[in-house]
Amino acid sequence: MTPESSSARIASFCKYASKAIDKSEQSESPYLLLEAINRIVPFKFAMSVVYQPDNAPIYVADTFVSRAEKRAISLYLDGTYILNPVYNAYLAGLRTGVHRIRELAPDNYFSSDYYREFKVQQLEDEEIGYRTYGWPAGMEEIVIAVELPAKRMAEISLHRPVRVGGFSEADLQLLSGIEPMIGAIYRGIWRHIKLQDKPQSGKASSLEALLRNFGAGILSARECEVAHMILKGHSSESISSHLDISITTVKTHRKHLYAKLGLSTQQELFSVFLNSLDGALQVSQS
């Protein structure tokens, strides 16, 4: 980036950031902040949600256009977020900063059934309820995490096509440089969004419990742990490292849990879990 273009981008960022501050009480303010970021580090699309303890994420803003993309957001908020690496990084104590999604994700995440079948690949049938159908393929993602009061955390995720090079290290450095201002603006916006919050249902805690209890009564405690890590996208090597057991033992647990659940593949395991998630949400909505 030349000094001239750098100055122009910073000036444009400041222009929209100022508008976001001035209109922090208005519904357009999150979109003005996204536009401010777009002026200094261009993206194809972006979204923002706020994660919170024991409840589902709170939707804030997105720049999606198509119905399929909008549906993807709804399905994510309805349940598939519990397997998402950003949400799980939040639960593990993610702090304010700029992160590449691949740095937050388990080692096998991008080849997992969650990513391949339910996030990126656009399938026509909908026999499995809660997949993130319609999520655009071929995107690289970076995340701006903003710590909020009451142990909440905002996610601003930016997406750019891999075919145009994704995000460079220079892009991350630019975002890291302005991240304190982004965080300050977001917290100002959040104070007004929070006032409009409706009572929450405790959905996250119930879905987390569903994940924790998945296989209970059928699988051993260790087999349950292995199943949960498979669902979140961990490879056998990663499971071995996290649980401090040998890869051979991991493979044995995988074989036994598949047999006990009457399954043959990882995809079938994921389908069974997503069907149980779908059923739980239908009961809670009835």
Distances (CA, A) of 138 to 14, 119, 121, 132, 175: 30, 11, 10, 15, 22
What confidence score (pLDDT) does residue 43 get? Answer: 96
Q: Are residues 162 and 239 in the same domain?
A: no
Looking at the structure of the chain, the number of domains it has is 2
Confidence bin at 124 (pLDDT 50/70/90): very low
CATH number of the domain to which 161 belongs: 3.30.450.80
Task: Assess if residue 116 is contained within a domain.
Answer: yes
Same domain, 92 and 223: no
Rounded mean pLDDT of 36-64? 93
Q: Which of 183-187, 210-214, 215-219 has the lowest mean pLDDT?
A: 210-214
More confident residue, 86 or 121: 86
Decide which of 45 and 83 is more confident: 45
* Beta partners for residue 160, in sequence order: 140
Residues 26 and 120 in one domain: yes
Whether residues 89 and 172 share a domain: the answer is yes
232 and 115 co-located in one domain:
no
Query: Do residue 116 and residue 237 come from a single domain?
Result: no
- pLDDT of res. 129: 30
Does 107 map to a domain?
yes
Q: Are residues 190 and 232 located together in one domain of the fold? A: no
Contact status, residue 232 vs residue 86, Cβ threshold 8 Å: no
Q: Return d(Cα 247, Cα 277) in angstroms, integer.
A: 29
Angle at 217 (CA atoms; ends 270, 286), nearest 5 degrees: 65
Mean per-residue pLDDT of the chain: 83
Q: Is residue 33 part of a domain?
A: yes
Q: Tell me the average pLDDT across 55-60.
A: 91
d(CA 38, CA 164): 16
Mean pLDDT of 72-81: 81
Q: Please give the pLDDT value at position 204.
A: 66
Q: Domain check: are 88 and 139 in the same one?
A: yes
pLDDT at 153 over 50: yes
CA–CA separation, 185 vs 194, rounded Å? Answer: 14
pLDDT for 183 equals 97
Phi-psi region of 72 (alpha: psi -120 to 50; beta: other; left: phi over 0): alpha
Domain that holds residue 238: 214-285
**Six token digits for residue 160:** 């750019």
